[in-house]
Every structure is written in structure tokens, then in C-alpha cells.
Amino acid sequence: MTTATTIGPSTVNVQAAIDRFQAVIGSHIASYLEACIHCGQCSQACHFHEATQDPKYTPTLKLVPMTRVYRRHKAPLAGVKKLFGLVPPELTADDLIEWKELIFDSCTMCGRCTEVCPMGIDIASIVGLSRQAMTAAGVGPSDLWEAAENSRTRGSPLGLTPQLLEDRLEWLADDNEVEIPLDREKADVLITVSSIEMMKYPDSIVAMAKVLNAAGVDWTISSKGYEATNFGVLSGKPDIAKIMVERLTTAAEAVGAKTLVIPECGHAYGAMRWSGANILGRPLTFEVVHITEMVAKLIRDGKLKLKPTAESMTYHDPCQISRRGGATQAARDILGAFAKDFREMSPTANHNWCCGGGGGVQAMGSAAELRHKVFQVKIDQVEATGAEHLVSSCANCRLTMDESRQALGWTREIKSLVEVLADQLEA
Amino acid sequence: MTFLQLVEGPLWYLAVVVFVVGVVWHLVGLVRLGRSVDRSAARSSGTAGALKAIALHSVPHGGNLGRTVYHFVTGYAFHIGLFVLVLFAAPHVKFIHDRILGVGWTAMPRWGFLLAAEAAFAGLILMWVRRLTDPVMRRLSDADDHFGVWLIFLVMLTGCLALQEAHDGLRALHMLFVDILLIYFPFGRLMHAFTFVFSRAYTGATYGRRGVTP
Amino acid sequence: MRFPRTLRASFSNTFAADGVAQGLAKPAARRFPAFDLARVAGGLVVVVLLLLASLAPSLAQSSVRPPAGAVTLAPPGPEMQGGALGNRSDAEVWHDVRKGAAGRVSIPDPNAPTLIQSQGQDWRVFHNEVVKVWGGRIFAGVVVAIVAFFLIRGRIRIKGGRSGRVMPRFSLTERVVHWFMAVLFVLLGVSGLILFLGKDILLPVVGPSVFSLLASASLQGHNLFGPLFVVAIVALFVTFVRGNGFRWVDVVWALKGGGLLGGHASSHRYNFGEKSWFWLASIAGVALSISGILLLFPDHLPGMVAQTTPDAPPARAMMQLANLVHGIAAVGFIAVGLGHIYIGTLGMEGALEGMTRGTVDENWAKEHHDLWYEAHLAESSTDSVGAEVAAAAGKV
């Protein structure tokens, strides 16, 4: 697997990074860059720092390349400071290469650091924008870029082409005797999928179909726009990010959907629910909800009959759905409807620890070792609850945890909330 | 012109002008960088979120408080002590009355001054000492961090050395450092005194729209 | 020497009450031995009791009362008596006054009846001719010794060179407390020295106007940072007391002159010199703190002490004692402190980083603290950042 080790200073387009840094700095970003007082409190909130105790993983250190460009080129009064030689030196290729690990491999953009920051600096969003600049310069993890390019050319980071989608849905429908509508002309609800689910956890697609059918939802999947993950956002390729949003928007508008449902995938929710309209440049004509929000509403409306279970469960909050998504309550409403022994982790909900693989880190080979190390935080958290089942609502979290638990020899299985729910449906 | 007349006269006026113009220029420049409209459908009020964040990030919250406690205690000791000194020390009240606002208020008694100064110095020294020794803070700190601390320390020190109010030289020294501080203020990290509101508010608004209290 | 008008007035009133209309002009002749404390105290108690008895009804109604401490404080000298007969010469009166004789005053100030505090002269002589002179000589001697040591011995290098492996040595708490104290040491040391020796050394050089400015600034600064020093010395003691107890190995270390005379001197985490410095700093620090607090609050603390401790010396004597203790302790603290600063920075390669980064080179540890080194071999590593973090976390 190719990584940054193959990138030399000669192949780095530093100017492209500098230009991109400048282009993305708005007043909010500038406020963040200016407000940091280097107190280092964010380090205690970062799982990469806590697992390694290495000061280089202090979140605010990720602001450095952008801050340097800002202070040299864009900050108010930079001109006056330049007269006195008080601006930082120009960014170099070596700087970018040095920061590659910090901007990509060791940040899941989970946003925990923002919570403890006395200045409330949104470091995750700066990392996201810094990825654009690094990528423009040609510095970054090539496997993450490949996943993004796959999305552009083949419709999905894992190569789930429209044809493959159709084949697999047909196979899943036949095998499990469940109706999975594809490309219906009109539907109230457009369901999207994550290729991780489709390729690695197809049971959760089946489960989702069962739940929607049981509730009598008027839904379809569309081959025009099905991939919910957005590796354009994660890899710092805004053009691909826009293509992915456009595909979903086109599909939703084509079927006249009132609601577009994001599957069990954290960053897909953030990319469409909170960034979709901004990437597209116009408001969306439909509502975007996470599958947990959809299901929670179906339960609230009495459309689902569920058998209670006494088995103990704990829930892992995907960062982009809870802390950075605001759909924190939905999963609890669902679990509350059938799990008689639900145990919260500590910390939980909006303060939950990240799985270690968000923000595309899951897809970076160079980050695997670090990611496994970080997962120990989560193991300790889960073990402390003593719950039998660990449930989550993000396929990326699930894949990260599955890989890490194998690497660390942890035997507990990670389950999909929708799958667990489908098992509790009254016949 | 004596040295005192210089630092309380022309240099003082220059410093105030640089400070006021610099800070305003800086903040206006910051806002003028602009921010594109958030087109996502808000779940909750961004304004409420901004106000909540401004208040909430003033106190430790959200767990993982190991490091926060140190900064919380020393930070507040310093900041509260400093503001009390600036606003209520008797010579300051007189200066504000005579030279700035034309109105004054009751100055605090001497014991109040001493308490505030002890707190401010203890807090500032402890924050700086941690910057020198803590691996994370050592990794983060730059010249601006240290310069700001030294400058404010010298302002406070010279102010307290002049406490007897018997020597023009000491008053002048204090004023000199005040002038330097004011002139440097808009250009360095001391600007956090203003930018923290922007930073918290932007985050609060972003998260507030998502229905999350950050 | 000028006295406040009220004091002078009340002094002459005393004599007037004794029947000497012209005040000091025709005093009575009767001499008391100086410093006959028992008699004086006894007499004073009687006088005070009589006064109280006669004044009790009016005191109860009056809003002006003597301070609570006024009753128990005895003026130090003999009481001025016998003036009523008019048989004392001016010379005799002044002689008594010089010896600390007390007259009577109508204000409730226990110090007011005594015009000249005789032991003030003793204090002055001791302070100016012993403490200051020897303090100055000791400082000069230490500086000369350090310079000489540097010229002869040079910087003490790590013999084996740097190993590239480091060991955690001082925790974050230890370093924060150390540097907090160090900052206060510098601030209080400089301002204290200006107050202590400035009149003799600085005044002739810089002239009266600059010196008065420096002295005023030093006084304010010294008073301001003093209370923080009290906090710092307590924190320093609590933080560093572990491992600073003397052991047999320290005696051997001392006999070998710390290895300076050749040969290797074994030591645990702290050697004999460091332990001595710790205890000296602690004891001198406590002395400085207690005497300093007394000196900071001359109007309140001596009275409070006298109330709670009947055997306590009179207020003025207490302040004079505090002043001398403060000076002597400061001389010790600063003199040894200079040596500590030298050996911790310029004097020895590899020592300072233990207090900044928190880690020391393995070879440094082996050479200077072999027993500690052997006990902590497991923490030695080539990962300097990791060692720094471990040190900060207190794995030292």
C-alpha cells in the first residue's frame, strides 16, 4: 500500500496548498486560529493523545500549517507585522509532509477536543479544510484518495457500481425473502446505502428493509444515487464531494422523495445532513435523516411492534451522529423501546470516545497500527459497563472496531442497531 | 519634557491610538473575511447555541478535566486579579477619572489591592511555569506566548513596585510598560481577549443549529 | 529624632501631672536600674489596674477604648518617677530616658511612655555591624568561590558523554513547584538585597534619588511577593521531602567531598549536598516566612502574639528579633542558593534539563546518582519524548 513515504519534497506543490489554505479561511476559521492560547487542554480529549501520550498528537498542533499561512498572508495587520519581520516563515514541502500524519492519520474529526477547549475551537473542521490544502499539494494517504477516486469513477469507494448494487440487492432479497425496492419511479423515502454495509455487512441492509417494510414505509433505493459515504469530504477533494452530493440530490428529486435516509454511517450523515446543502450551494428540497431518527419516529408513531429483550446492551455513539450530528437521542429512543437492560458507557452520548477510525482514518493503511492502539480506550469503556452486547449505528465504526478487536484479540462482537432491532420485530 | 511626561503624554496617546485602531482594525478585518451562509436546515437556534457556548466554555465541562483544573484555577486567579487591579486600584481609578472617562468610582482598599495582586501574580507565574515544563505546552508554545506573559508580568510588576506612589520614576516605568503593552496588543496573542468571543460563538452557532450544546 | 506632636505633648503632661509645671525643666531625681523588668512590670500592672478601676465607669460609656492588647504590653524601660520633688537634674532625666525610662501618657499606646528604646541601639549595632557586614562578606565569598571553582574545575562534564538514553527525573508537580519558588527567589532576593545592602553598596554609586526610588520599589515588591513565598516554601517542602532524609551513604558522600576530591561518591536520588540544601532551604524558608509575616503586619501581629503567648517578648523586641532572623536566614538561603543555581546551570552539564524537560541523560544519572540510577534502570529509554511524558506523569 502506498503511503506518504513515497512523497518527496520535489513532488509537493506547496503553492497549491498555500492557495487552498487561504481560500478556505473565513472569519470563523480565522477566529479559531487566533483564539488558541496554546494551553494544551485539548490533548486530554483526544484518543490519539491519550492512547500514546505523545504530545505531537495534541489536537491544536493540527492548526499549525493553516495558522502559518493565515498569519503570513491573510491575518489583519499581517502587512504591518511583515515590516517588523513578525510573520512566520512560508510553509515548506517538508512542513506539509511532517503534518501529513497529524492532518490525516491521527485525526478522526470526532470533535471531542472542541468540548474541552476554553475557546471552543472547532479543530475538526479545520482538519477537514487542511486536508483539502494538503491534498491539493499532493500530500496525503493515497489509499484514501483512491477510495475517493473510486467514488467518482465507479460510484462507490469500495467499487459498488450500479450494476453490482442491483446484483447484490437481488441476491439479498432472494436469499432472505425480503422485498428490497430498487429504482421505483416515485417514493416518499429514498434510502441510501453505505458500501461498507453492502460489501461487508449486507445483513444490515436486509434488516433495514425488514424494518421499513414492517412499518409500511413507501421507500426505494435508487441506482442514480445510492452511495451515502462521501470520501470527497474525507480526503479533501471538494470536487468529488460535490459529485457525491449531487448524485444523491438528483436521485431524491427524481423519485420525489420527501425524506432521504442516511444508513448506519456517521460521516455520511454529517456530509449530507449538515454539509450537503453547503456543498451543493443551494438548500435541499427534501429532509435528510439518519436511519435511527427514521426508526425512532416509526416507533413513536406506533408503526413498529417490538418484543422486549432482557439481554444487556450498551451503545457506542458514532461521533458524527451524536456529538457532531445532534441525533443523539434517536438511538436511545429505539433501545428504550425494547432493551430492558440498556447501559450507558462513561462518558457517553455527546461526550463519547471515538472508535478511532472515523474521518477516513479507517481507510488509511498507514494509520492502522495507531488506530488499534487507540481502540483500547473503547475496550475499557465497554468492559466497564459489563453489558453483553455492544451496539452501534455506524458501519464504519463497526468495521474499525472489528478490525481492531481482531488485532487486539478482544472477543466481543459489535452489532448494528438496525439488525438488533429487526430481530425484535413482532412477526 | 520629563520621562514621566513623555510616557503619560505623547507616548500614552500614541499607545491608546494604536491599541484602539489596531484592535478595531483587527476585529473588523476578521469579520470581513466573511463566512458563507449555512444552507443546511437547522434543527435548533444557532444564536442560542452561540450564547450557550460563550457561557459554557467559561467553565470546565464535558469530562476529561485532568488538565482543565490547573488552568481553571490559575487562569481565573490571574484574570480576575488582573481585572480587579485594572479597574479598582486607587491610582487607576484616579487615572481613569482624570485622563480617560471623566468619571470615577470607589477604589478598593489597600488590602483588596494586595489580595488581587497576590492572586494575579500567583496565577500568571504558575501558568507560565507550566508552559516551561509541561510536555504538551512546551510542544505548543511559541515566542508570542512567552512575550505576552512577560509583558503583562512587567506591567503588573512595575505597577506594584510603584505602589508607594512616591516616585515619578516608578510611575513612569509602569506607564512605559503599559504603553508597550497597548501597542503590542493588537498584533499578538493578547488579542485572545477579544477573539475568544468570536471563536466560542461560531462554534456555538454551528453546533447549536445541529441541536448540540458543544 | 522628632516625635509626633501628640507624643511630645503627652510626655510633658506626665511631668505636669507630677507637679513639675515646666515639664522637663526641673525633673525629680531618682534613678532606677535599667531593665528591671520584674519591678517595671509589677509597677505597670498596678498602675494599669488603678487606671482601669478609676476609669471603668467612664470606659463603659465611652466609645473610645484602648486596643485590646494595650493592657498586657509592658514598656521595656524603668518607669520615670520622683519628679514631684523637683530634685533631679536635666542630666539625670535624660540619662534615665536614654536608659529606656518610661513616663506616663494619657493615650492608650503602650510604647508611647518610653522615649528611647534602648535595645533598639543593641539591635542597630548587631544588624549593621554583624548581620550586614557578615552577610556582605558571605555573599562576596560565595561569588568569589564560585568564580574560582569555575576557573579551576571548569564545567563538570558528563564523563561518559551523552548516552542518547534518558531517564525521567522530576515530575511536573516537582518542576512547577521548583520554578514557582525560583521566580519568587529571584524577585524577593533582588528586592531584599537592595533593602539589605543597598544603602551601603548602591547608594554611594547611584546617588540618593535613584536609590530612594529603588528602595521604595523594592519595599513594595518584597512585601507583595512575600506571602506567595510562604505558600511556595510549604509546597516545596511537601513536594520534595520524599527521598531527602539523610542516610549513611550521604556521610560517605560528604567524606569523599562528593567525588570532587577524586573517586566516586555514591548517592541515591539526592546526594548529601542536595539534601543539605533542601533542609537548609526548608528551615531558612520557614524562618523567613514567620519573621516575614511578623514584619509585614507590625500593627496587628505582635499584639495578637502577645495575647496568645504571655511569655512573648514585647512588640518592639519581637519586631527587632524578626528582623534579625529574617536577615540571617536570607543570607544563608541566598548564599547557598547561588551555589545551587551555579551547579544547576553553568556548573554541570546535563543538570538543568532535569528541571526543564524533566529527564536526564543516563550517563549523567550513573555518574551523579548511581544508586538511584540502578533502581530506575527500567525507565531508561532512547525515546526522549516518551521519557518526558513519563516524567511529567510522575514516574520518577
Identify which of C40, C2, C8, C44 has the alpha carbon closest to the alpha carbon of residue C24: C8
Residue A147 pLDDT greater than 60, yes or no: yes
Amino acid of residue A342 = F
Residue B126 pLDDT greater than 80, yes or no: yes
Average pLDDT estimate for C31-54: 46
pLDDT at C265: 86
C220 in B contact zone (CB under 8 Å)? yes
> Which grid cell is A121?
475551537
Average pLDDT estimate for A337-354: 94
Please, is C169 exposed, middle or buried when counting C-beta atoms within 10 Å of its C-beta (0-12, 13-18, 19+)? buried
- Lowest-pLDDT range of B80-94, B136-150, B171-185, C108-122: C108-122
Residues 6+ apart with CB under 8 A from A330: A290, A292, A293, A295, A296
Cβ A120–B32 below 8 Å, yes or no?
no
pLDDT at C99: 80
For residue C322, the number of C-alpha atoms closer than 13 Å in the C-beta half-sphere is 22
pLDDT at C170: 96
Q: Which residues are registered as beta bridge partners of A312?
A: A341
B133 in C contact zone (CB under 8 Å)? yes
Average pLDDT estimate for A4-22: 81
A40 in C contact zone (CB under 8 Å)? no
Q: How many CB atoms lie within 10 A of CB A328?
A: 18
pTM value is 0.87
pLDDT at A312: 95
Q: How confident is the model at residue A97 (pLDDT cuts 50, 70, 90)?
A: very high
Q: How confident is the model at residue C83 (pLDDT cuts 50, 70, 90)?
A: low
Average pLDDT estimate for B117-123: 97
Percent of chain A with pLDDT over 90: 95
- Lowest-pLDDT range of A166-175, A414-423, C60-69, C202-211: C60-69
Q: Which residues are registered as beta bridge partners of A391?
A: A315, A415
Identify which of B11, B169, A302 has the alpha carbon closest to the alpha carbon of residue C213: B169
* Structure confidence by residue, pLDDT tens digits, C305-337: 888 888 888 888 889 999 999 999 999 999 999
* Structure confidence by residue, pLDDT tens digits, A219-260: 999 999 999 999 999 999 999 999 999 999 999 999 999 999
| CA–CA min distance B143, chain C (Å) | 17
Percent of chain B with pLDDT over 90: 91
Cβ under 8 Å to C: A residues 56-75:
56
Residue C3 pLDDT greater than 60, yes or no: no
Average pLDDT estimate for C160-174: 95
B132 in C contact zone (CB under 8 Å)? yes
> Chain-centre distance of CA A285, in angstroms?
23
Chain B, nearest residue to C391 by Cα: B135
Q: In whole angstroms, what is the distance from residue C199 CA to residue C214 CA? A: 10
Average pLDDT estimate for B64-84: 94
Contacts with B186 from chain A: Cβ below 8 Å: 77
CB A18 within 8 Å of CB A69: yes
Cβ A55–C386 below 8 Å, yes or no?
no
The DSSP letter of residue C107 is S
Contacts with C393 from chain A: Cβ below 8 Å: 53
C217 in B contact zone (CB under 8 Å)? yes
Give chain C's length: 396
Residue C19 pLDDT greater than 60, yes or no: no
Cβ B67–A44 below 8 Å, yes or no?
yes
Q: How confident is the model at residue C91 (pLDDT cuts 50, 70, 90)?
A: confident
* Structure confidence by residue, pLDDT tens digits, C227-269: 999 999 999 999 999 999 999 999 989 988 887 776 788 899 9
Sheet holding A309-316, edge to edge: A339-343, A309-316, A389-392, A414-416
pLDDT at C329: 97
Task: Quote the mean pLDDT of chain C.
Answer: 82
Residues 6+ apart with CB under 8 A from C198: C211, C214, C215, C218
pLDDT at C9: 38
B115 in C contact zone (CB under 8 Å)? no
Host H or E run for residue A314: strand A309-316
Residue B16 pLDDT greater than 50, yes or no: yes
DSSP symbols for A323-359: TTTS-HHHHHHHHHHHEEEEE--SS-GGGPPP-S-TT
Contacts with B161 from chain C: Cβ below 8 Å: 216-218, 220-221
| CA–CA min distance A174, chain B (Å) | 38
Contacts with A54 from chain C: Cβ below 8 Å: 385-386, 389
Contacts with C389 from chain A: Cβ below 8 Å: 53-55
pLDDT at C43: 52
C186 in B contact zone (CB under 8 Å)? no
Cβ under 8 Å to B: A residues 104-123:
111-112, 114-122
pLDDT at C374: 94
Name the more confident of A64 and C316. A64
| CA–CA min distance A65, chain C (Å) | 22
Average pLDDT estimate for C348-376: 94
Q: In whole angstroms, what is the distance from residue A292 CA to residue A422 CA? A: 12
Chain A, nearest residue to C393 by Cα: A53
* Structure confidence by residue, pLDDT tens digits, A263-282: 999 999 999 999 999 999 99
Residue A286 pLDDT greater than 60, yes or no: yes
Q: How confident is the model at residue C67 (pLDDT cuts 50, 70, 90)?
A: low
Residue C38 pLDDT greater than 50, yes or no: no
Contacts with A274 from chain B: Cβ below 8 Å: 40, 209-210
Contacts with A323 from chain B: Cβ below 8 Å: 212
Cβ B187–A81 below 8 Å, yes or no?
yes
Residue C359 pLDDT greater than 60, yes or no: yes
C207 in B contact zone (CB under 8 Å)? no
Q: What share of chain A is helix, strand, coil (3-state, %, to 5)?
A: 60, 10, 35
Residues 6+ apart with CB under 8 A from A219: A181, A187, A188, A189, A190, A191, A212, A261
| CA–CA min distance C388, chain A (Å) | 10
**Backbone angles phi and psi of C337, in degrees to 5:** -60, -35
Contacts with B177 from chain C: Cβ below 8 Å: none
pLDDT at B62: 75
